[in-house]
Amino acid sequence: VPKKCQKAREHFGTVRTQMESLKTKFHEHWRFVLQRLVFLAAFVVYLESETLVTREAVAEILGIEADRERGFHLDIEDYLSGVLTLASELARLAVNSVTAGDYSRPLRISTFINELDSGFRLLNLKNDSLRKRYDGLKYDVKKIEEVVYDLSIRGLNKEAVVGA
């Protein structure tokens, strides 16, 4: 995983170069791309440290600004959408980890996703695309809880705790 994360970080150098040329273009055209790049940066940071990357750190990785006043920037909505995509991918990773025999990772993912869900519940989201994506987080939480529950029923979560 560290080698793959390093390789991914090298690709962000190319992204930074491309973002330089996009800074002069109309920002709204690149929303989906920015959201996807936020997800990729967040996933790399999660794999490296099992922490949530900040909006400022993502902006730095991408070579753009975090604040609107400073020019081409990373909107908070784009950041949050990318983070929600991370949650979906981590739900898949939890299932695949069990298949690979890594029983401790789903427990750690569960803790991370539950904290993420708690944070999103504090937000007053409008009835827009971000709200719909947040609604998907509830299903991701449920999916991960089912994985952890299955590990518990099979007695594998004890092995995970001892292994961790």
Q: pTM higher than 0.85, yes or no?
A: no
Q: Hey, which CATH number is domain 1-154, 1.20.58.200, 1.10.3720.10, 3.50.50.60, 3.30.70.360?
A: 1.20.58.200
In the chain, domain spans: 1-154
Per residue in 22-81, pLDDT tens?
Answer: 766 655 677 888 999 999 999 999 999 999 999 999 999 998 888 878 877 899 999 999
CB 152 within 8 A of CB 161: no
Q: Is 159 annotated as a binding residue?
A: no
pLDDT of 164 strictly over 50? no
- Token pair 């299932």 is found at 95
CB 99 within 8 A of CB 134: no
**What is the Cα Rg of the chain in Å?**
17
